[in-house]
Amino acid sequence: MKRCCTAPTLLTTTMLLTLTLPGSGHAGGGSGPRTYTNPLDVSGPQEVVSCPDPSILGSRIPGDTHWYAYCTSDPHSDAENNGIGNYPIHPITMLRSADLTHWELIGDALPDKLKWASDQAFLWAPEIVAWPDGTYHLYYAVSQTLSGGSAIGVAVSASPTGPWVDSGRPVVEPQGELAVLDPAVVAGSSGRHSLYFGSFRSGIAVRELSPDGLRSDPKTQIRVAAPSGPTGFGGPEVVRHGNYYYLFGASSPCCAGPMTGNGVFVGRSTSPTGPFLDRTGRDLNATWAGGTPVVLNNGGRWVGPGMGSVFSDAAGRDWLLYHAIDQREPYFEQQTQISKRHLMLDPVDWVGGWPTVRNGHGPSDGPQPAPVVRPGDLETQASAPLRPDRPGAAISARSDEFSGTRLGPQWRWVRPPAPAGFSVAGGAFSLTSTPGDLMDGTAPALLETAPTGDYVVETRLNFPLPEGAAPDGVEAGLVVYWDDHNFVRLTVGALGTVRVAAFYKATTAGTDRGFPSISYGLAGSASPTTWLRIVKRTVKGEGQYTAYVSTDSRNWERGGTWTLDPGGKARVGLVALSGAGYPAHFAYLRVSQLSP
């Protein structure tokens, strides 16, 4: 989806477009299925290693069987380094492919400065649309206009490679502090087109486009996703599938290098103007915001999977062209501000009417069957479902039902709160939130020794934050803790005016090279009473921690996975922090082995 980088401050997005791709002669014959490996190859005349927020389109020009992709403004590769870590920013990179897995650079779509954009403006989040009149419309976000504020623009061409002629004014005008970013366009059943936009703490809005696609009607504007919720950060994209419109959105910071927790969530509606509900029936525009996970960190090489384009191959299978960051080489050379967001490709499986990348497995790393580019080629098969993690045998010595009036003997405090700040009564442990954080060495944490091997730690949390009143960031939940600078925690809390479940990671690894020390990803929908689980498993000698969230104790959404191995002995426990005076009630803390 669309997120932000600094130096220069690149606030990016990703676009989504459903289309049926034309056939290509550049297929693998009939000898067997073609394969590819992420990241996708983008060759000369200049190598391109970063293609954030890709938007894709198959040419409609007779005889042209190529596909075209458009990337948010970014550097292309380390080769552009001026020697001191400064890079040129390419105003919407254009790529071309004959087989969807090998791409070549065409050039910049909008190399000339826009007359209505400020000198400091960047162009983000391209959305390519084949208009009914035979032209191509390239929508994009302008970070700053001459009149102030961000806006959506559009350029038109008779060819997917340009030249592009800008309309000369915004399609969606600046709206004060509202983030008018990240455009997405979908055609409704009536043939009228709707334009979605939004980002950061502005939520996502939709309004109707004019018949020529060059203007929009402010009177039709409706907010469809809450600010800072699982889909409210930005990168809105809408895909029609079956009887529904699916609104995708990207959550959490996009560009924190190896600590990027960005992911993609979705809701659906029978109308392009919503309401969009997630799999549990929760509205994406609610205070306790909904959002069903589509692709998140999976504990592998790739982090921060961001939204892109959904398309159908020649066999009718859906795919996602998107971006992600390689943990091993997360930044451009000689700086730690601009993350390399590589061009990625993976299949989308529809499970029970809901999209998921590789049936829940997330970003691939290794050879994969490629899309079918012409009828008759061997088809790829649906991904096998990801087996959910389940609790095994209970570890009673490390579990506490809080049935008495005192904490069990296994518990120890890090920075105990005042006696009035916690209690055990009525079958619950209650902890009143305090200012500060673990990272600054001020927040309390109730901890016990973690078991050896693979395990599950779970609690039921009642944390009924009032609407609009809770301070931004106040949270409560589970923690796996080594020290104040190395931990993972899964919490329910306030993110702006929205209530969410978030999964944090703090580490000292890489901080000597300027890497971030803490980041987070959203884990799914929360409610005033939420069940939380952290699953720990060792994979290839590395500790992996996966979040699970439920609002009814029966149906669990799998969140992202963080890897963390700081050394030493871990502890597990409970926290309530980052804002004073909000009581969190924990019904139990249960520790169990991980079911084989």
Instruction: For residue range 530-546, list pLDDT tens digits in order.
Output: 999 999 999 999 999 99
* Both structure tokens of 481: 């803790």
Residues in the chain: 596
**pLDDT average, residue stretch 391-410:** 96
Higher-scoring residue by pLDDT: 301, 382:
301
Question: For the purposes of burial, counting CB atoms within 10 Å of the CB of 375, is it exposed (0-12), middle (13-18) or buried (19 or more)?
Answer: exposed
pLDDT tens column, 477-520: 999 999 999 999 999 999 888 999 999 999 999 999 999 999 99
* Residue 80: per-residue pLDDT: 95
Which has the higher per-residue pLDDT, 569 or 376? 569
Residue intervals of the chain classified under CATH 2.60.120.200 are: 391-594
pLDDT, average across residues 341-369? 97
- Residue 236 CA to residue 464 CA, distance in Å, equals 29
Q: What are the two backbone dihedrals, phi and then psi, of residue 105, each rounded to the nearest 5 degrees?
A: -75, 135
**Any bridge partners for residue 480, and if so which?**
488, 572
β-sheet bridge partners, residue 594: 391
Q: With bands split at pLDDT 50, 70 and 90, how would you rate the model's confidence at 307?
A: confident
Q: Long-range contacts made by residues 399-407, C-beta under 8 angstroms, separation at least 24? A: 399/588, 399/589, 399/590, 399/591, 399/592, 400/429, 400/588, 400/589, 401/427, 401/587, 401/588, 402/427, 402/428, 402/429, 402/586, 402/587, 402/588, 402/589, 403/427, 407/446
Q: How far apart are CA 334 and CA 483, in angstroms?
A: 30
Judged against a pLDDT cut of 80, whether residue 18 lies above it is answered with no
Q: Which amino acid is at 16?
A: L
Q: Is it the case that residue 576 has pLDDT exceeding 60?
A: yes
The answer, yes or no, to whether residue 141 has pLDDT greater than 50, is yes
Judged against a pLDDT cut of 90, whether residue 469 lies above it is answered with: no
Would you state the pLDDT for residue 462?
98
Pairing of β 193-198 and β 184-187: antiparallel
The pLDDT score that the predictor gives to residue 31 is: 52
Is 2.115.10.20 the CATH classification of the domain at 35-369?
yes
Which tens digit of pLDDT belongs to each residue from 27-40?
334 456 789 999 99
Region 577-594: what's the mean pLDDT? 97
199-255 tens-digit pLDDT: 877 899 999 999 999 999 999 999 999 988 777 778 888 999 999 999 999 987 889
Give the pLDDT confidence score for residue 235 in this predicted structure.
86
Looking at residue 24, what is its pLDDT?
35
Residues 6+ apart with CB under 8 A from 322: 14, 54, 264, 295, 305, 306, 307, 308, 309, 344, 345, 346
- The pTM score is 0.93
**Highest CATH level, class, for 391-594:** mainly beta
Nearest residue to 152 via CA among 225, 216, 219: 216
Mean pLDDT of 428-436: 97
pLDDT digit string (tens) for 165-179?
999 999 999 999 889
Give the model's pLDDT for residue 467.
80
Cα separation, 230 vs 590, whole angstroms: 27
Query: Contact, 507 vs 568, CB < 8 A?
Result: no
Do residues 415 and 436 make contact, with C-beta atoms less than 8 angstroms apart? no
**Looking at the predicted structure, is the pLDDT value of residue 570 above 70?**
yes
Q: Where in the chain is the domain with CATH 2.115.10.20?
A: 35-369
- What percent of the chain has pLDDT above 90? 86
Q: The tokens of 302 are what?
A: 């790739």
